[in-house]
Amino acid sequence: MTKKEQLEKLNKQMATCNQCDLRKTCNQVVPGEGSASAEIMFIGEGPGKKEDETGHPFVGAAGKFLDELIASINLKREDIYIANTVKCRPPNNRDPLPKEKEACWPWLEKQLEIIQPKIIIPLGRHSLEIFLPNARISEAHGRAFRKPFPPLKKIVFFPCYHPAAALYNGNLRETLLKDFKKIPRVLKLIEKEKILN
């Protein structure tokens, strides 16, 4: 099976998931989307109202800003992959509970295993704490970290603020744009195996 076929099969399995209570209150599962062979994978927190309605990740105001950020490094959505830590919308957009993130983790892990990205970009603190539990987004954003991460052996993480944060705090807009500009350089360094920390 191709990576694309594997992801399609996984998405069908996700659609029938009822491992936690989130499935009872949302309209649909939002698995993620993009290129099955993406080098860059963005991982947000969870679907919001618009995402729950459409079945697509990052389609609201934060999604429009994410598109702008992706375009700023000459990429399109079709070039990357976007997913969330939880695949169902938490009621009233509340933060996902630890047990909900835990229930959803095997889905995200399988996505990572299929796609095998070179770089994972956790968007915001909820995504960051799954991959780098002791890191703080205010200190880790815009920096590359390489760490062992089964099932991907060693992987590079490049945390960024969540695009939604920039909608509430205008100062973060410039920070995000600046951090995104580093992504192509980080990818080049990964290819040359120069990121070793």
Q: 69-124: per-residue pLDDT in tens?
A: 999 999 999 999 999 999 999 998 898 998 999 999 999 999 999 999 999 999 99
What ranges do the domains of the chain cover?
3-13+22-189
Answer yes or no: CATH 3.40.470.10 is held by domain 3-13+22-189. Answer: yes
Average pLDDT, the chain: 92
Residues 118-152 pLDDT 10s: 999 999 999 999 999 999 999 999 999 998 877 67
Distance CA 175, CA 166 (A): 9
Whether the model clears a pTM of 0.85, i.e. scores above it, the answer is: yes
Strand pairing partners for 126? none
Q: Give alpha helix (H) positions in the chain.
A: 3-15, 22-25, 49-54, 61-71, 98-115, 125-131, 137-140, 163-168, 171-181, 183-191
